[in-house]
Amino acid sequence: MALMTGQQYRDSIKDMHINVYCHGKKIENQLEHPITRPAIDAVALTYDLAHDPEYQDKITGISHLTGERINYFTQVYHSAEDFVKRLELMRDMFYRHGMCQGARCVSGNIANGLESVTFEMDKKLGTNYFDRFRKFWARVQSEDLSVGGYVTDPKGDRSKRPADQVDPGFYLRVVEQKKDGIVVQGAKVLISGASIAHEALIMPTRAMLEDEKQYAIAFAIPTNAPGLTLVHQFPSPDFRRLTPGARGADFGNEHYGVYNACHIFFDNVFVPWDRVFMCGEYEFTGPLVDRLAPCFRCVTSACKCGHRDLLIGGSAVIADFNGVGGAGHVMEKLSEMSYESELSYGCIMGAAYRGRKTESGNYFPNALFANVGKYQATKALWFGAAMGVDISGGLVMGMPSEEDRQHPDLKALIDKYFQAKPGVSTEDRLRMMRFMEYLTGIGNILVAESSQGGAPTASQQLVFSAALKKNLVKYKRHVLDLAGIKQEEPAKKR
Ligand SMILES: Cc1cc2nc3c(=O)[nH]c(=O)nc-3n(C[C@H](O)[C@H](O)[C@H](O)COP(=O)(O)OP(=O)(O)OC[C@H]3O[C@@H](n4cnc5c(N)ncnc54)[C@H](O)[C@@H]3O)c2cc1C
């Protein structure tokens, strides 16, 4: 079975009975839970699209391990083209769900790093990690598994190294080595898609030193392994999904809009040797981190580029619905958003084409360009979100709920007073407004209030542009005087 369908993926996650909690309660069935279901649906798309004849070329490839057709989220990179294909896929997928497929996304990059580093470990140390890893990854590919990528440790006091923490458990570590495997203890935090992935692929969050060997570990375990407890994150917009009566348009991105990220606690978790890919070889942790980082920075930036494309599209739609679609300042803002965004995409494309191959054949993007691209991706997203709030208007954070809109005493009032452009129904305008709330990522009224309270930026621009017009005459006169250029005062226009 090389390519699962979305339904097969859903059923397989349900059957795993993963030990995950949300808001103080154990989730019995993630498929039916309002917090986990949307992210499952987003990941299910990555399975269904692999069966779509029109999309198949974008989302599948041929495995270098098995020769089979596999889902591209399990592909590792052997050339610039391989990597570019992944970047393009990330951007395009975002258009389809406006969400994340973290349950499949980070791990491919770890796999690329591990394949190359285990090769070098075996060559230098005579270990057999490379073979082990490739066997594991061939299974991931041929069974079309979703694999969470676990890097981030709790880290304790950030100013101290792992070995200097007051508690040795702030970084995931080996507590026992047995004949048949190792026992690990600790936690990983904020892992995307963890509770909706079949497997966890785990590596250190930083380079380790000789006295930190216990933290120099890489391995894989099924997400339902005994001793694992997962806790789903709980950002404020997610509360709405648990509010009685909230529905449909209240959620913005109704079908897919919940980010799945979990904290995972490891209580003496046993990992058999055939799933261990590093255990104590601290000098290889630096190269592993250094190889994962540029890959993942590019990949996550590509997906945020898709997010920004939706922000640009959403800002244009809401401006139309408000009746100001053609306004000059709106077009300028859209153009700036696009410029900031493409700047990042150009950098990561540059990183992809200026990469390097390791002896194992794995391909890695240029680290400098990757980091510049990621840095710019973050700036561009914050900028785009600010512009999105600015263009939407204050309603983006001040919407009545669907319960209000359906209430017999309120419906006519809301339908009348929230109508804007003729021909666009109030329902559509409010639905779009909520979608902009989702895309701009504001879960607290303060951001919109600081942008819209006291009027949006174009109003302030009108005032300071008028002041500049007056001052410009004065400033030009000073410059001409200093440059020794005599010019007649222009005749006053009538
Ligand atoms: C939605 C989401 C999804 C994520 N998905 C994944 C995932 O799938 N897999 C995964 O492994 N991780 C994931 N992460 C974790 C992410 O990689 C970390 O949040 C990130 O690396 C920062 O680590 P931190 O949160 O511990 O913040 P910190 O490291 O504590 O950083 C906070 C601030 O402190 C500063 N700082 C930290 N250490 C020092 C120091 N020694 N000296 C000076 N300043 C310092 C930082 O620069 C930053 O400004 C995710 C995070 C989020 C929010």
Instruction: Show pLDDT as tens, one digit a residue, over the chain (494 residues).
Output: 689 999 999 999 999 999 999 999 999 999 999 999 999 999 999 999 999 999 999 999 999 999 999 999 999 999 999 999 999 999 999 999 999 999 999 999 999 999 999 999 999 999 999 999 999 999 999 999 999 999 999 999 999 999 999 999 999 999 999 999 999 999 999 999 999 999 999 999 999 999 999 999 999 999 999 999 999 999 888 889 999 999 999 999 999 999 999 999 999 999 999 999 999 999 999 999 999 999 999 999 999 999 999 999 999 999 999 999 999 999 999 999 999 999 999 999 999 999 999 999 999 999 999 999 999 999 999 999 999 999 999 999 899 999 999 999 999 999 999 999 999 999 999 999 999 999 999 877 777 777 777 778 888 788 888 889 999 999 999 999 999 998 877 676 66
What's the CA gap between 485 and 449, in Å, rounded? 48
Q: Is 487 in the pocket of ligand 1 (CB under 6 A)?
A: no
Neighbours of 101 (CB within 10 A): 26
Provide the b/e sequence for 384-417 (b: ≥16 CB within 10 Å).
bbbbbbbbbbbbbbebebbeebeeeeeeeebeee
| Burial class of residue 168 (count of CB atoms within 10 Å of its CB; 0-12, 13-18, 19+) | middle
Name the 3-class secondary structure at 19: coil
152 Cα–ligand 1 center, Å:
7
Provide the pLDDT for residue 187.
98
- Closest atom of ligand 1 to 194 CA is 8
Whole-angstrom Cα distance, residue 267 to residue 229?
8
Quick one: angle between helices 328-353 and 367-392, nearest 10?
160
236 lines ligand 1 (CB under 6 A): no
Q: Whose CA is nearest to atom 39 of ligand 1?
A: 158
Kindly report the protein residue whose alpha carbon is nearest to atom 38 of ligand 1: 158
Closest CA to 200 of 147, 152, 153, 151: 147
- Give the whole-angstrom CA distance, residue 51 versus residue 63: 17
Any atom of ligand 1 within 6 Å of the Cβ of 151: yes
Helices (H), 323-425: 328-353, 367-392, 402-406, 411-417
Q: What are the tokens at 291? A: 């190889």
Q: What is the pLDDT of residue 461?
A: 80
Q: Following CA atoms 82, 60, 34, 195 in sequence, which dihedral angle do they give, to the nearest 10 degrees? A: -60
pLDDT score of 493: 65
Do 174 and 165 form a contact (C-beta atoms < 8 A)? no
What 180-183 contacts at long range (C-beta under 8 Å, 24+ apart), as own/partner pairs, is: 180/272, 180/273, 181/270, 181/271, 181/272, 181/273, 181/275, 181/276, 182/217, 182/219, 182/270, 182/271, 182/273, 182/276, 182/279, 183/268, 183/269, 183/270, 183/271
Instruction: Single out the residue of 40, 44, 76, 24 nearest to residue 364, CA to CA.
Output: 76
Nearest-CA residue for ligand 1 atom 3 is 192
d(CA 143, CA 105) in angstroms, rounded, equals: 16
Say how many Å lie between the first and final Cα of the chain, rounded: 80
d(CA 494, CA 490): 12
**Domains of the chain by range and CATH?**
6-284 (2.40.110.10), 299-457 (1.20.140.10), 463-494 (no CATH)
Provide the residue type at 30 as one letter.
Answer: Q
Q: How many CA atoms lie within 13 A of 320 on its CB side?
A: 12
Ligand 1 touching residue 171 (CB < 6 A): no
**Which ligand 1 atom sits nearest the alpha carbon of residue 192?**
8
pTM for the model stands at 0.93
Alpha carbon of 154 to ligand 1 centroid (Å): 9
The pLDDT assigned to 494 comes to 62
Q: In a mutational test of the pocket of ligand 1, which residue from 101, 104, 153, 158 has the highest number of ligand atoms less than 8 Å from its CB?
A: 158
State if residue 261 touches ligand 1 by the CB under 6 angstroms criterion. yes
Tell me how far the alpha carbon of residue 210 is from its chain's centroid: 33
Nearest CA to ligand 1 atom 32: 158
Q: Which residue has the tokens 């779509």?
A: 52
Q: Whose CA is nearest to atom 47 of ligand 1?
A: 158
Nearest alpha-carbon partner for 164 in 155, 151, 172: 155
The Å distance, Cα 355 to ligand 1 centre, comes to 25
Q: 304 with 100: CB under 8 angstroms?
A: no
159 lines ligand 1 (CB under 6 A): yes
Ligand 1 touching residue 191 (CB < 6 A)? yes
Q: What is the dihedral of CA 57, 58, 59, 61, to 10 degrees?
A: 50
Q: Which two tokens stand for residue 325?
A: 């679609």
Ligand 1: nearest atom to the Cα of 151? 11
For residue 309, the Cα-to-chain-centroid distance in whole angstroms is 14
Tell the residue number behind the tokens 């007056």, with chain if given. 470
Q: Ligand 1: does its nearest atom lie under 6 Å from the Cβ of 106?
A: yes
- The β-bridge relationship of strands 228-232 and 261-272 is antiparallel
DSSP bridge pairs for 62: 69
Q: Look at residue 446 in the predicted model and tell me its pLDDT.
A: 72
Would you say the CB of residue 149 lies under 6 angstroms from ligand 1?
yes
Indicate which residue's Cα is closest to atom 48 of ligand 1.
158
**What is the SS3 assignment for 254?**
coil
CA distance 280 to 234: 35
Q: Which atom of ligand 1 has the smallest separation from the CA of 105? A: 8
The atom of ligand 1 lying closest to the CA of 102 is 8
CB-ligand 1 contact for 457 (6 Å cutoff) = no
For residue 205, the ligand 1 atom closest to its alpha carbon is 11
